[in-house]
Amino acid sequence: MIDAEALKKDFPILFQEINDEPLVYLDNAATSQKPQQVLDALNTYYQRDNANVHRGVHTLAERATAKYEMARQKVKTFINAKETAEVLFTRGTTTSLNWVAKSFGEANVNEGDEIVISYMEHHSNIIPWQQLAKKQKATLRYIELTPTGELDLASAKKLITAKTKIVAITHVSNVLGVVNPIAELTEIAHQVGAVMVVDGAQSVPHMAVDVQQLNVDFYAFSGHKMLAPTGIGVLYGKRSLLEKMEPIEFGGEMIDFVYLEDSTWKELPWKFEAGTPNIAGAIGLGAAIDYLTEVGMEDIHHYEQELVAYVLPKLQEIPGITIYGPTDPAKRTGVITFNLEGVHPHDLATAMDMEGVAVRAGHHCAQPLMNYLEVNSTARASFYFYNTKSDADTFIKALLATKEFFTNGPF
Ligand code: PMP
């Protein structure tokens, strides 16, 4: 059971006033806030242990290396990877997906091949595949959505064929909040010999993810959306695939021997991690995983569904509201995207900020989805486990005040 009131106290940033109102932070899909435990882990590292990793034999270097590699071990356990060799540290989801497109994609996708994605992808799970398709003269195909904003499995089955080399789908949409059936899609992809790449930016922070159970080939996510600092993320990949892949970057840390004309690479996972890595970021991610594990990922998922079940009907009651994505809270996480008739989402977000409520407005890095939904932009409130029912009430109250302001004045 989640006690959001109690957990919220671990997040110092949440206790401040914005425009003379207590802050209600509902932009968690963009980035999460950090608990004191993560801030302390970062401080301790810089105040006590800071050194470069892997190369030194002095005590600080050994401490930094041990903490950095312990963080990798924590990620491995958190997503249930088979071994730490399959956990690569990156800058975030975007980098992870670009690495797959560049390294795996350019070696395995050829003229006439197809890459299958969906209309609900974030730009970072579209553009790397567009670039790959252009370079290799392959074709990019988009899985359709159902009228309620779910992935259309019939469309997926039709599009994924013997020509398909890569299927790349988000686990949870950052706009529609919907959870996609990754295990099922992976099976469909594997039947035709394609690899399954998953954008986990919005799933890993909000639900238990088991990469072995899902049987995915690659899985990408970002630390900053799951209580960790910015600039650290993960690419999970199956050993059999990573071993055959070439690194994307070259330099220090990733080499075994350097000769005048050629070089050899370290073993996995280090062959992909060129240069001094984001040591503090990885340690912060380790601390974030400790925190999330203690709270419990199953509980977090259920609590967010409960919050959505609480707030969705209240939202639906407001005249002029359009909500995007499934109406069944069991099919979603804490992301609620909506529009209010006659009010531009940017004006809405600005007016909500006057009430202390932080929501996002725009295309949410999903322009093809906006076109698909036939809107230019939307507003988005995204909840996390430290948001309380009282935050949800404040959100609705601020939205009603915003509607009143734009309907009746003070003009
Ligand atoms: N995919 C999804 C679904 C996202 O929500 C985001 C972040 N908005 C990303 C990818 C990109 O993550 P990052 O900017 O951390 O690389």
Q: Distance from the CA of 205 to the center of ligand 1, in angstroms?
A: 12
Give the chain's largest Cα–Cα span.
75
Question: Would the CB of 28 count as within 6 Å of ligand 1?
Answer: no
Q: How far is the CA of 202 from the centre of ligand 1 (A)?
A: 7
Cα 31 to ligand 1 centre (Å):
9
Tens digit of each residue's pLDDT (9 = 90 or more) over 378-392? 999 999 999 999 999
25, containing H or E segment: strand 24-25
Q: How far is the CA of 61 from the centre of ligand 1 (A)?
A: 32
Quick one: which of 197, 7, 15 has its CA closest to 118?
Answer: 197
Residue 353 has pLDDT above 60, yes or no: yes
Nearest to 364 by CA among 175, 145, 169: 175
The mean pLDDT value of the chain amounts to 96
Which has the closest alpha carbon to 46: 288, 290, 278, 289? 278
Are 4-26+296-408 and 39-294 in the same CATH fold? Answer: no
Q: What is the CATH number of domain 39-294?
A: 3.40.640.10
Distance CA 179, CA 66 (A): 36
Instruction: Tell me, using a 6 A CB cutoff, whether residue 92 lines ligand 1.
Output: yes
> String of b and e for 132-150 (b: at least 16 CB within 10 Å)?
bbeebebebbbbebeeebb
Q: Is 339 in the pocket of ligand 1 (CB under 6 A)?
A: no
Whether the CB of 90 sits within 6 Å of ligand 1: no
Does the domain spanning 4-26+296-408 belong to CATH 3.90.1150.10? yes
pLDDT at 12: 98
Report DSSP letters for 338-407, one per residue: EEETTB-HHHHHHHHHHTTEE-EEE-TT-HHHHHHHT-S-EEEEE--TT--HHHHHHHHHHHHHHHHHHH
CA distances from 138 to 145, 158, 186 (A): 23, 18, 21
CB of 180 shorter than 6 A to ligand 1: no
Distance 304 CA to ligand 1 centre (A): 19
> Is the CB of 120 inside a 6 Å radius of any atom of ligand 1?
no
In ligand 1, the atom with minimum distance to the C-alpha of 233 is 15
Q: What is the DSSP string of 41-61?
A: HHHHIIIII---SSS--SHHH
Per DSSP, the residues of 122-183 read -GGGTHHHHHHHHHHT-EEEEE-B-TTS-B-HHHHHHH--TTEEEEEEESB-TTT-BBP-HH
Protein residue whose Cα sits closest to atom 14 of ligand 1: 94
- Listed as own residue / partner, the contacts of 110-113 with beta carbons closer than 8 Å and 24 or more positions apart are 110/136, 110/137, 110/138, 111/136, 111/137, 111/138, 112/137, 112/138, 112/139, 112/163, 113/138, 113/139, 113/163, 113/164, 113/165
Domain ranges of the chain: 4-26+296-408, 39-294
Find the catalytic residue in 167, 196, 365, 370: 365
Q: Which of residues 179 and 409 earns the better pLDDT score?
A: 179
Active site residue 41: no
Q: Whose CA is nearest to atom 12 of ligand 1?
A: 93
Name the residue with the closest Cα to ligand 1, atom 8: 30
Give tens-digit pLDDT for 216-265: 999 999 999 999 999 999 999 999 999 999 999 999 889 999 999 999 99
CA of 121, closest atom in ligand 1:
3
List, for residues 36-88, the tens digit of each pLDDT value. 999 999 999 999 999 999 878 999 999 999 999 999 999 999 999 999 999 99
33 lines ligand 1 (CB under 6 A): no
Give the pair of three-digit tokens for residue 330.
């069991």
91 lines ligand 1 (CB under 6 A): no
- For this complex, say whether ipTM is above 0.95: yes
Q: Is the Cβ–Cβ distance between 402 and 340 less than 8 Å?
A: yes
Does 203 sit in the ligand 1 pocket, CB within 6 Å? no
In 227-340 the beta strands, taken as DSSP E runs, fall at: 233-237, 255-258, 263-265, 321-324, 335-340
Q: Looking at residue 188, what is its pLDDT?
A: 98
Between the CA atoms of 243, 245, 248 and 254, what dihedral angle is there, to the nearest 10 degrees? 20
- Count other C-beta atoms under 10 Å from residue 200's C-beta: 29
Please answer whether residues 215 and 234 qualify as being in contact, where contact means their C-beta atoms are separated by less than 8 angstroms: no
pLDDT confidence bin for 410, thresholds 50/70/90 = low
Indicate whether 409 pLDDT > 80: no
Confidence at 308, pLDDT banded by 50, 70, 90? very high
Instruction: Supply the pLDDT for residue 45.
Output: 98
Atom of ligand 1 nearest to the CA of 94: 16
